[in-house]
A = this chain, B = another copy of it.
Amino acid sequence: MSQGRIAIVGTGLIGRAWSISFARAGLDVALFDPQDQAAAVALSLVAGNLDDLDKQGLLRGRSPREVLGHIRVAGALADALDGATHVQECAPESLQTKQELYVVLDAAAAPEAILCSSTSALLPSAFTARVTGRHRCLVGHPINPPHLVPAVELVPAPWTSPEVVERTRSLMVSIGQAPVVMRRELDGFVVNRLQGALLQEAFRLVADGIVSAADVDISIKKGLGLRWAFMGPFETIDLNAPGGIVDYIARFENMYRTIAASQERLVPWRGELAQRIDAQRAQVLPRDSLGERQNWRDRRLMALAVHMRKAEEEHGA
C-alpha cells in the first residue's frame, strides 16, 4: 500500500480536480458517478485541462497522456472501490445523502480502505455515526481546486482512528497537497472559521459606512494578502517585530484587544447590505460576467501556482 489506489465517488467540479491531483502523482484513480455518463464526461473535461497544466509545468513532470493513463471510468461503485486504498467522496452536500452513502461505501470498500469526504461544511460525526467502520471515516476538505490550491483540511470524527488520520496526511503530502490536521471537528473547520472572522469585520466596516467593499478588497489583495499568500498569519507577525512573535504580542496585543471590543456586534449580511455590496460589485463586474470572471480567477490561480513553485525553488519555502 506504499502507493495506493484511489476511488473518486462523485465526479463534479471537485471530483474532477481531485482526480488530477492524484493522477499527476502517479496514483491510479477510478472515477464513479451514479449519474449515467457523468464519469465519462468528467474524464473528457479532465483531458481538456491537462494540456494547459502541462504547459505551466503543473503535472509534476508527467505528460498529459501519462496522467490520463492513470484515470479510468468505473461503470459501477463496486468496480471503482475494487482495490482502492483511499476513497475520496465528492457527493452533493446533503446530510442524508452522505449518511446513506457512507453505509454503502463501508459495506463495499476493502477493510483497509480510508473513506474521506470532500464536504466543506458537514461535520464527519454527523454522517458517519452509524457506520460500522466509522473509525476509517474522516473529512478531507480541499480549498478548490485542489490541483491548484494545495491546502486540505483533515477533520476527524471523535471515533476516527489516529492511524487513519496519519495515513491520509501522509497520502496528501505524497501527492503534493498541504494537509491541515485538526485534532477534533469544529464547525467551519479552520479555513472557513478564519474566513468567517475576517468576513464579519469586512461586512461590519461596509455596513457602518467606513469603507467601500472594493476598498476592503484592495486592503487585502494589494496589502496583507500579499504576505499571507506565502507566510500565513502567524509567520507574518513573527517577522513583524524584532523579537519575533512574543515581542509582537507584547507590542500589539493591547491594540488588537481595543479593536476586538468593537468587533463583537454582528451585522446582518442579507437584505439591504447584500444589495448594497452587490451594487458596488456590479460597478466593477457586471452581474452577467460572473462566469467569465470565474475563468479569469482560475487562470490567475494557475499563474500564481506556477509563481509559488518557482519562488520556492529560487528563494526557499
Contacts and interface: CB of A to CB of B under 8 A. Distances in A.
A225 B222 contact: no
A219 B253 contact: no
A316 B238 CA distance: 33
A183 B305 CA distance: 36
Contacts of A103: none
A307 B219 CA distance: 18
Contacts of A202: 194, 233-234
Contacts of A303: 307, 310-311, 314-315
Interface in A257-283: 257-260, 262-264, 266, 268-270, 274-275, 277-278, 281
A95 interface: no
Contacts of A238: 281, 285, 290
Contact of A192 (B197, B239, B253, B259): B259
A215 B149 CA distance: 15
A225 B228 contact: yes
Contacts of A259: 187-188, 192-193, 196-197
A281 to B, nearest CB: 5
A192 B232 contact: no
A111 interface: no
Contacts of A235: 217, 221, 281, 284-285
A228 B305 CA distance: 14
Contact of A229 (B183, B221, B256): B221
A307 B301 CA distance: 12
A216 interface: yes
B245 A187 contact: no
A199 B262 CA distance: 15
Contacts of A110: none
A153 interface: yes
A82 B179 CA distance: 57
Interface in A125-154: 143, 148-151, 153
Nearest to A177: B222
A275 to B, nearest CB: 7
Interface stretch (A20-28, A83-91, A206-214): A206-214
6 contacts: A179-B215, A194-B219, A195-B233, A249-B269, A250-B270, A296-B315
Interface of A: 121, 143, 148-151, 153, 178-184, 186-188, 190-202, 205, 209-235, 237-239, 242-246, 249-250, 253, 255-260, 262-264, 266, 268-270, 274-275, 277-278, 281, 284-285, 287, 290, 293-294, 296-297, 299-301, 303-305, 307-308, 310-311, 314-316
- What 3 pairs across the A-B complex have the smallest Cβ distances? A217-B232, A151-B223, A229-B229
Given A231-B300, A244-B278, 11 more contacts: A149-B226, A180-B223, A183-B211, A194-B198, A199-B256, A214-B234, A219-B232, A243-B290, A245-B277, A253-B270, A303-B314
